[in-house]
Amino acid sequence: MTETAPRATGAARSRFWRNEWATFAVFLLLLTVARTSLANHYQVPSGSMEPTLMPGDRIAVNMLAYGLRVPFTDIELIDRGEPQRGDVVVFKSPADGTRLIKRVVAVGGDTVALVDGRLWIDGKALHDADASDIEHFGDRDVTLNLAHGGGPDIATGTIPAGMALVLGDHRGNSADGRFFGLVPMKSLYAKAAAVYYRRGEGFGWTRL
């Protein structure tokens, strides 16, 4: 009994890393053969998503997560569902067309409020009383950066169908949906899958 557990743990660890590197290899292949419609990469320009994403991080982006589109258009060929609360997404700013990366925090039908940088969805706080800088999106825990406060509040309101509210995790330092408004779901054209390079740490594969 004393020898079996370490072997099982080692085997599980080995399978985990094989799966992670296999995923990484697939993304590299997709980046090579079909960047515009299957996969792409993105360099984080600012700290608006800290600590999840740091300035200079390089992100693997899944262009197929929400369907297949004709490159450089919004014409959808295959529908694979819509973004979910907690997804980190890439889209063009409704204000000026700049490419942005933010987190979907509320979708059509959600009643949302934001107070001191912390979210309430359908009247329920997403954070715990003893850990107010961590929000729960289903089984995904997201650490917020509240070092500069929470930024502008959002009064209680319901998100219309087909729309999404996107925010940065660095709530006091993010030009997000509080400034440019809601974003059509169809405009969220890719999902950030993983950080594959971080300054000071080098290459890796940290899932988002």
Q: 58: how many CB neighbours lie within 10 A of its CB?
A: 15
The CB-side HSE value for 75 (13 A sphere, CA atoms) comes to 4
For residue 174, indicate whether it is catalytic.
no
**Of 48, 92, 93, 187, which one is the catalytic site residue?**
48
Whether omega for the bond prior to residue 51 falls within 30 degrees of 0, making it cis, is yes
For residue 102, indicate whether it is catalytic.
yes
Q: Are 194 and 61 in contact (CB under 8 A)?
A: no
What letter represents residue 168's amino acid?
Answer: G
Closest by CA to 102, choosing from 159, 27, 182, 26, is 182
**Of 14, 46, 92, 102, which one is the catalytic site residue?**
102
Catalytic residue set: 48, 102
